[in-house]
Amino acid sequence: MNAPLCRISGQAINRAIDFGIQPLGNGFLLPEFFSSEYFYPMEMGFCETSMMFQLIEQPAPEQMFHEHYAFYSSTSRYMEWHFAEFANQVKQSGYLAKVDPFVVELGCNDGIMLKNFASAGMRHLGIEPSRNVAAVANGNGVRTLSEFFSEAVAEKIVREEGQADAFLAANVMCHIPDMLGVVKGIRALLKPTGVVMFEDPYLGDVIEKTSYDQIYDEHVFLFSAHSVQYMFQLHGMELIDVLPQKTHGGSMRYVLAHAGAYPVSQAVTQLFVKEQELGLHKQSTFETFRRSIEQSRVDLVNLLRELKSQGKRIAGYGATSKSTTVLNYCGIGPDLIEFISDTTPIKQGKFTPGMHIPVKPYEVFQASPPDYAVLFAWNHAEEIMAKEKAFVEAGGRWIVHIPKVQVLG
């Protein structure tokens, strides 16, 4: 078998972590589709040239993003606040032209961030490949094209509307296998003074917290400052700032510009040093990471089996894409977890991908609280813990698996 190649450098990738056969992270389904459920071999590799940690094989995009794709951004109050803050930061950054600035967002979803520009009367354009989601954004007053972004799409936008001051993306870039095509498009789209600001789950947090559940079919890359710098420098751009974020269990906002356009902040230099210390640039780090993941699996399965043997009832909280990786990698099914509570109507009444645990509305959790709840939506821990004081007061206990498997309280 030929060695797989890095999507960025074109060099051979070293195989790093094999998660076995996995279903789609967000592929919640009804029983009539169990027999035709899609599975693929999920394995991560590391390229020592680009320093990019990436999926070796990814399902075809039409398997993942289609008319029934169940992800809308505006599901959490915290995320609404977060994107308003992101938009404010862009407006106040000093990077936008004083007169008639133009802001483009890739993967604008239902318009959760761009509506903050639209309501201020600023020139904006969203690019969202999921047609049904783009329609929701347009309905929210956010001007949105339903396209896959590329150099050709960028050139069309420049011809029709001129170059952009800012190119934004949140939790989108790490989904795109043809990243180099996107980087070329960005270079064509941006004014000489233009900036890219994008954020995604950060590899440094994933390694430090053993949050291996950030790995699933949609996340083709887990970025670091090292890999982002490599990828953009190939096309004459460079990192000028980095801003750590709390979202998605630890993300990084990267700010890039045409090389030499702006001074490079101290935060960039400091992050490079920190990443060297964490070893994000070398293969051996991913071998240690693999051993931590294996230990996490042993600890979680042992804990759930022990509690079950004591006759305890265990449910899950938040039917996240992340939970699909944990459940399938650990082999945890309805024998251990009775149901998963989730507030998203389109997930309710369905079953989790692969392990087929029923997803039930939040009201079921409230009406019949379990003894233990596994916090699969751990990235929303603060919001959830604040809301669920009554569960704990009534004797319920949280199980978390990040940064290590434990029962809280």
Which residues make up the interface to ligand TYD (CB under 6 A)? Answer: 75-76, 318-322, 342-344, 347, 377, 379-380, 383-384
CB closer to ligand TYD out of 28 and 95: 28
Q: How far is the CB of 350 from ligand TYD (least distance, A)?
A: 11
Q: How far is the CB of 273 from ligand TYD (least distance, A)?
A: 30
CB closer to ligand TYD out of 121 and 345: 345
Cis peptide before 403 (omega within 30 of 0): yes
> How many Å apart are CA 347 and CA 341, to the nearest integer?
10
Q: How far is the CB of 379 from ligand TYD (least distance, A)?
A: 5
CB closer to ligand TYD out of 194 and 370: 370
Q: How far is the CB of 347 from ligand TYD (least distance, A)?
A: 6
> How many Å apart are CA 266 and CA 278, to the nearest integer?
18
CB closer to ligand TYD out of 167 and 317: 317
Q: How far is the CB of 249 from ligand TYD (least distance, A)?
A: 9
CB closer to ligand TYD out of 101 and 369: 369
CB closer to ligand TYD out of 9 and 320: 320
> How many Å apart are CA 127 and CA 143, to the nearest integer?
9
Bridge partners (DSSP) listed for residue 253: 199, 243
CB closer to ligand TYD out of 134 and 315: 315
CB closer to ligand TYD out of 275 and 388: 388
CB closer to ligand TYD out of 113 and 268: 113
Q: How far is the CB of 383 from ligand TYD (least distance, A)?
A: 5
Of the candidates 384, 12, 6, 379, the one whose C-alpha atom is nearest the C-alpha of residue 202 is: 379
Q: How far is the CB of 81 from ligand TYD (least distance, A)?
A: 12
3-state SS of the chain is CCCCECCCCCCECEEEEEEEEEECCCCCECHHHHHHCCEEEEEEEECCCCCCEEECCCCCHHHHCCCCCCCCCCCCHHHHHHHHHHHHHHHHCCCCCCCCCEEEEECCCCCCCCHHHHCCCCEEEEECCCHHHHHHHHHCCCCEECCCCCHHHHHHHHHHHCCEEEEEEECCHHHCCCHHHHHHHHHHHEEEEEEEEEEEEEHHHHHHHCCHHHCCCCCCEEECHHHHHHHHHCCCEEEEEEEEECHHHCEEEEEEEECCCCCCCHHHHHHHHHHHHHCCCCCHHHHHHHHHHHHHHHHHHHHHHHHHHCCCCEEEECCCHHHHHHHHHHCCCCCCCCCEECCCCCCCCCECCCCCCEEECHHHHHHCCCCEEEECCHHHHHHHHHHCHHHHHCCCEEEECCCCCEECC
CB closer to ligand TYD out of 207 and 402: 402
> How many Å apart are CA 248 and CA 322, to the nearest integer?
10
Q: How far is the CB of 213 from ligand TYD (least distance, A)?
A: 7
Q: How far is the CB of 276 from ligand TYD (least distance, A)?
A: 29
Q: How far is the CB of 149 from ligand TYD (least distance, A)?
A: 21
